[in-house]
Amino acid sequence: MTILKADALTYTFPGGVPALSGLNLSIKRGRKLAILGPNGSGKTTLLMHLNGTLRPSSGQVFLDGQPVGYSRRALTAWRRRVGLALQDADDQLFAASVFEDVSFGPLNMGLGDIETKERVIEALRIMNIADLADRPTHMLSGGQKKRVAIAGIVAMRPEVLLLDEPTSGLDHHASAHLLAVLRKISEAGTTLVFTTHDVDLAYSIADEVALFNEGKVVAKGPSEKILADDEALSRAHLNPPMLLQLALKARCLGWLGVGESLPQTLQEILDLMERKSRDALKH
């Protein structure tokens, strides 16, 4: 079931810079879609079209099969269902304290103080930052700011969560942590769409991948298929993920049973290697 669809979107920035050139993309409900592509390929511009921050020069966005509107009222309803976490959390945080900042979305939706408080507490808990509630936002680390910014969106309980380069600027630990949280949010039923230029990240979390180049989708499909397609990847100036190369090798060597899914994380590959080496010792 498609929840969001971009149909032939074209957008040119003031000054004449083309950013989207007849871009088509459909997003399935409940899935995790990674958008990959080189700098300037239109990833951020597309996300801004998917929650109505930008309006296409031509083409149409559909939400649940209905063409979206751009009246104030339509935009408010749309953004309640589709939340966007910007790449730079500093662009998103503005309140003095973490609690106040995360409250902003629910209050703006017209929720009362009690329900807002419940939602803020829940969002902080989901993001594992309950302990930061009373902190001033300007005294947070980059990774903490990112989690607070995402909590602000999660508190609105959107059906679709759009994230622009969610792990950029995070150290390894912070980004592993964020990924675990995103998996949890996805398991609770939220549709995830995130941009990245990290093919390994896309492989480890996404079900589907769309490759962008020059404002168009050059390939889209299941991540294990698209990320193994050298030709499609090279059109988007990308290399195949190392984990997928290892996983495919394992399949090729007969290490996986028929129909067994490919290992998607380093831990799964390490476990498989260990199992195989134990099997080999037994024989």
Ligand X SMILES: Nc1ncnc2c1ncn2[C@@H]1O[C@H](COP(=O)(O)OP(=O)(O)O)[C@@H](O)[C@H]1O
Beta carbons of 98 and 135 less than 8 angstroms apart? yes
Q: Which does 17 bind (CB under 5 to 8 A by kind): Mg ion, ligand X, none?
A: ligand X
Residue 157 CA neighbour count, 13 Å, CB half: 13
Residues 7-46 that bind ligand X (CB under 6 A): 13, 15, 17, 19, 37, 39-45
70 binds, among Mg ion, ligand X, none (CB under 5 to 8 A by kind): none
- Tokens of residue 84, six digits: 């966007």
- Binding test (CB under 5 A) with Mg ion, winner from 4, 37, 44, 78: 44
238 φ, ψ to 5°? -130, 160
In angstroms, what is the minimal distance from the CB of 164 to Mg ion? 6
Q: Which does 146 bind (CB under 5 to 8 A by kind): Mg ion, ligand X, none?
A: none
Q: What angle do CA 105, 110, 114 make, to 5 degrees?
A: 85
Q: Smallest distance, Å, CB 267 to ligand X? A: 30
Closest by Cα among 168, 170, 221, 163 to 192: 163
What number of H helices and E strands is found in the chain?
11, 10
Pair type for strands 160-164 and 82-85: parallel
Which residues 40-79 are close enough to bind ligand X by CB under 6 A?
Answer: 40-45
- 264 near Mg ion (CB under 5 A): no
Residue 189: contacted member of Mg ion, ligand X, none (CB under 5 to 8 Å, by partner type) = none
Judged by the rule CB under 6 A, the positions of this chain that interact with ligand X are 13, 15, 17, 19, 37, 39-45
Question: Residue numbers of the site for Mg ion (CB under 5 A)?
Answer: 43-44
